[in-house]
Amino acid sequence: MARGGPSAPRGRVTLRRVHELLRQGWPPGLTLLTGDDEYHLDLAQRALLDGLVPEAARGYALTVIGGEGRTGIPDVVAAARSAGMFAPQRVVLVRDVATLEGEPAALEGFAADPPRHSYLIVRAPQLDRRRKLHQALETLGTTLAFGRPRPGPEAESELVEIAKLKGLALGAAATRALAAVCGGDLRRAEQELEKIRLWHGAGDAGKAQAVAALPPTVAGAGLLSGWEMADAVLARDRAAALAALRRLVESGEEPLRLLGGISHRARSMLRAKALIEQEREPPQRAVASAGLWGKAASLLARDLERYTLDELLGFPSRLLAADRAMKSRLLGDDVVLEAAVDGMIGGGTDR
């Protein structure tokens, strides 16, 4: 991370660098916060404001621009250049780059020669490099770029770290479950972890069962509530899958949500199998990249061997037919779901 240089590394590495530079003395002038990892954007923004503006001076030294309306670039630069009467530093935060309008000439002049204790922070999660303003923002000052973690071990590692901040120790199965629901959206993952903490406390929250038992307000609860059934489908265990399905229906689970959960598992199975068949990734890494969860990667890869790629390619049409049948109301939802699960497992033997 350097003025006019390449963007900083993603995630925790960048945050460490933010704190290091704050201790050394943050460079005055323009700072750009960008990237699609808004969780770390929030943390970086908070760290910058806490480090640059003492709490007692917030009313004098900090100006926040954003919300409704537009603000001309010359006005923003003038605010950043103005010296406070009761605080030596001046910090201007533009919460949304869409707020700014006008040519970037004033911004270029400020970035080239900023006052000693003047800091202009612009938040722009997405940059349109066809626009002169966005080109200037990216090249004139200090750029902090936060990208979402890649699926698999990188995303799971981030979830474990976020959980630690909440006093939670996630088990491997629970981590994979949340990664499957939230993908690389760490802000959403942080919200789900907060729900886990509030609902279960720190004791049993690290277990996959605790994740599956979250209240229905949790995003992706349909996927999580059917994890036991999905595991049985992957293991090609007809008896266990149908028994789990019946328990879920009898407990009042919404059938369409259960169908959505099994559809998610089917997509992950197909993606993992395709990666393996194309020899793009070894089996254990393929199941992690595809978002399969519930057991150790070695066991998931072993279960996936029970299906051929052609069998998995037939899953989408079977699930689409089940969706249409459930919406037609010609048959009971539980009957349609059982037929879909039984058909997916196909030649599997009861165990």
CB 118 within 8 A of CB 81: yes
Q: Which DSSP helix (H) or strand (E) runs through 336?
A: helix 333-345
Q: Any idea which of 93-97, 104-108, 149-153 has the lowest mean pLDDT?
A: 149-153
Look at residue 3 in the predicted model and tell me its pLDDT. 40
Structural domains of the chain in order of their starting residue, each with its CATH number? 11-145 (3.40.50.300), 150-217 (1.10.8), 226-351 (1.20.272.10)
- Tell which phi-psi region holds residue 91, choosing left (phi > 0), alpha (psi between -120 and 50) or beta: beta
* Torsion 30-20-49-197 (CA) sign: positive
pLDDT of residue 278: 84
Q: Which of 13-17, 255-259, 339-343 has the lowest mean pLDDT?
A: 13-17
pLDDT, the chain, mean: 80
Confidence label for 44 from pLDDT (cuts 50, 70 and 90):
very high
Concatenated DSSP letters for 173-239? HHHHHHHHHHTT-HHHHHHHHHHHHHHH-SSSTTSHHHHHT--TTSTTHHHHHTHHHHHHHHTT-HH
H or E segment at 65? strand 62-65
Which of these ranges, 90-94, 164-168, 329-333, has the smallest mean pLDDT?
329-333
156-160, 261-265, 315-319, range with the lowest pLDDT: 261-265
Across the chain, which distance is largest between two alpha carbons, in Å?
A: 80
| Contact criterion met (CB below 8 Å) for 227 and 291 | no
pLDDT at 173: 72
Q: Which residue has the tokens 């995630």?
A: 11
pLDDT band of 199, cuts 50, 70, 90: low
Per-residue pLDDT of 113-131, as tens digits, reads 999 889 999 999 988 888 8
Is 90 exceeded by the pLDDT of residue 74?
yes
CA pair distance 140, 5, nearest whole angstrom: 9
Please report which confidence band the pLDDT of residue 252 belongs to, taking 50, 70 and 90 as the band edges: confident
Rounded to two decimals, the pTM is 0.61
Measuring CA to CA, how many Å separate 31 from each of 4, 122, 159?
11, 6, 27
In the structure, what pLDDT confidence band is assigned to residue 73 with cuts at 50, 70 and 90? very high
